[in-house]
Amino acid sequence: MQKDEVLKIRHILETELKSGEITLHPSEIAAFLKYLYSENKEEFFAILRKLPEEVLGEVLLELPESIKDEAIEQLSVKKLAKAVEELDSDDAVDLVKDIEDIDSDLEQKVLQNIDKEYKEEIETLSSYDESTAGAYMQTEVFKAYVDEKVKDAIERLRKLKAEGEVSNIHQVYVVDKDEKLKAIIPLEDLILYDFNAKFADIIHEKKYEPITVHVNEPVAELIKKFEDYDLAVVAVVDDEGRLLGRITSDDVIDLIEEQATEQIYNLAGLEEEAEEEEDIKEVTKKRAWWLLINLGTAILASFVIGLFDETIQKYVALAVLMPIVASMGGNAGTQTLTVVVRKLALGEIDWQNAKKALMKETVVSLLNGLIFAVIMGAIAWIWFGNHLLGVVIALAMIINLLAAGFFGAVIPLFLKKVGQDPAVGSSVLLTTVTDVVGFFAFLGLAKVMLVH
């Protein structure tokens, strides 16, 4: 944060803490506290304890994991319990899980201090698998019944809003006596109808036909539905079509960010949880595992080079040019790998329809191989004054880039097919392939064309 921004937020926050009415957005408060944590921990905890429970929960959720953990440990059980109660159910579940990760005993104490009905709600939501839609659902929805008059529903909503029982209401979920979802009506559309009309007279219109997700629907399908229908919110139903809750776009955006972050870490052979650790020893251990695997693949590539040691001794120029062949293959493979892994994550390709993607990536790599073969062949010829050396590196470049494109697509597709995360391990396997193929092609061709 900029110094003037820090001073501005500090002044506003100090004033509002005295008045007891906080207007600053939780993300602004969290950004200020994050700055304060590194500058003055004592003041950080002092302000944290003064925050009203109405905003405390949201502020905690906005803090980075390492700071959040320490903040939670410094707050009383009663303050944490009240902060949880002030949150929407989906956010309350997130905060309770954060507390559980720190101390399961503390989590139980917090839950014991929460309203019994809300506690049961949180426990139910917590029971859903994190790979399903139910884990990201909030139960706060405004329902109207098919036999209810429009004016009665509006009056009920007005009272709930005045009491602070509902927030961010943009739609009315129309259900029958069995709580089965029949229609979703935008709030603004209610003014179009006779206030004495019943919802049963309105919901027959096709535009109010509900778009829903099943409570156990995979997260990938949930995200796809938001993208396909350009949704801001979606209703969650069970096997019988009963309304259970809703999922809002902010939760889906968080999911997309989490998946993208996880993929970036995985492609680099890192683990997100490990990287968020403050313990240097733990981070080192996690990274070392992938570096050990990489060492094994590097030894394999070196073994291939060792097979041609006599050839390299006769033509020292080969040692100069080898890194170029390996580097070009590695970069071309990484390009293909990144594209394919991302498309797999978005559900745009799978093993069944992979032929087109495989063909495209292979042809692109082949064309790039031909282009850079001509360029590098000419450079090697001029550089070392040997036209055959230029031909050798040109052919090796074509072979390696072709292999990079092909295996850069096949490896993640195969890993997905066998039920493994294509982002994990793909880069290590691909590096092995491009190094081995590149060195073998280059040195093998050199032995045949230059030595013999």
Summarize pLDDT for 172-187 with one digit per residue, the tens: 999 999 999 999 999 9
The Cα–Cα gap between 344 and 413 comes to 8
Q: Which long-range contacts (CB under 8 A, 24 or more apart) does 181-190 make?
A: 181/210, 181/212, 181/235, 181/237, 181/241, 181/242, 181/243, 182/146, 182/210, 183/208, 183/209, 183/210, 184/208, 184/210, 184/211, 184/235, 190/150, 190/153, 190/154
Whether residue 234 has pLDDT greater than 90: yes
List the chain domain ranges: 3-127, 143-256, 272-451
Summarize pLDDT for 33-59 with one digit per residue, the tens: 999 998 899 999 999 999 999 999 999
Under a CB-based contact definition with an 8 Å cutoff, are residues 362 and 402 in contact?
yes
Summarize pLDDT for 68-121 with one digit per residue, the tens: 999 999 999 999 999 999 999 999 999 999 999 999 999 999 999 999 999 999
Q: How confident is the model at residue 427 (pLDDT cuts 50, 70, 90)?
A: confident
Summarize pLDDT for 319-373 with one digit per residue, the tens: 999 999 999 999 999 999 999 988 887 778 877 788 888 999 999 999 999 999 9
What does the pLDDT read at residue 395? 97
Say which CATH class 143-256 falls into: alpha beta
The tokens of 251 are what? 């939760």
The superfamily in CATH containing domain 272-451 is SLC41 divalent cation transporters, integral membrane domain (1.10.357.20)
pTM beyond 0.85: no
Under a CB-based contact definition with an 8 Å cutoff, are residues 197 and 146 in contact?
no
The superfamily in CATH containing domain 3-127 is MgtE N-terminal domain-like (1.25.60.10)
* Cβ atoms < 10 Å from Cβ of 367: 13
The Cα–Cα gap between 363 and 405 comes to 8
Mean pLDDT of the chain: 91
Q: What is the mean pLDDT of residues 266-287?
A: 67
The tokens of 400 are what? 């390696």
What does the pLDDT read at residue 163? 86
Strands in 80-188 per DSSP E: 143-145, 171-175, 181-186
Summarize pLDDT for 306-333 with one digit per residue, the tens: 999 999 988 989 999 999 999 999 999 9
